Amino acid sequence: MPQPHNTFQITPSIAINEDEIQFTFIRASGPGGQHVNKIASAAQLRFDVRHSPSLPDDVKSRLIHLAGKRINKEGVLILVARNHRSQYKNRQEALKKLADLIIKASDKPKKRIKTKPSLVSKQRRLQAKKHRAEIKRHRQSVRPDRLH
């Protein structure tokens, strides 16, 4: 199945239309001299998770949970990349951060299978408790009424 040229392929089953991703470029903080003060090289990526038609509902809910503080009340994910001096590299880094988050959210958590402790493990636990109680009982000072 051919992909439209304006999609961002994340997994074999998930592709995001690039129209859903907005970039704004802001001034990066930190060292860099006059260059930092003049050039808006830091990339700020905005992706509306809640209203995205590209993501399945279960991936959306896990992504919202994973994103934490990086997602606002409207369900818009905001990622900032400012490690590079070039706008292009920061843009690529922001896209990689988005892809990593979506890949992590697309993994379905394994369902926990309840197990019962074995008879031997129960006996071992009770034996350890008895042993510990015996140790503590020997630490107590001997009272005269308990001599015999």
Task: Tell me the pLDDT of the chain (148 aa) as tens digits.
Answer: 445 558 778 888 888 888 888 888 888 776 666 666 677 778 888 998 888 888 888 888 888 888 888 888 888 889 988 888 788 988 899 999 989 998 898 888 888 899 999 999 999 999 999 999 999 988 887 777 766 5
The torsion region of residue 68 among left (phi > 0), alpha (psi -120 to 50) and beta comes to left
* 3-state secondary structure labels for all residues of 94-113: HHHHHHHHHHHHHCCCCCCC
Structural domain spans, the chain: 7-106
pLDDT of the residue at 13: 82
Q: Please name the amino acid found at residue 129.
A: K
Give 71's DSSP letter: B
Alpha-helical runs (H) found in 4-86: 34-38, 57-67
Token pair in block for residue 95: 């896209």
CATH class of 7-106: alpha beta
Match 């990339």 to its residue by tokens. Answer: 43
Cα distance between residue 84 and residue 77, in whole Å: 21
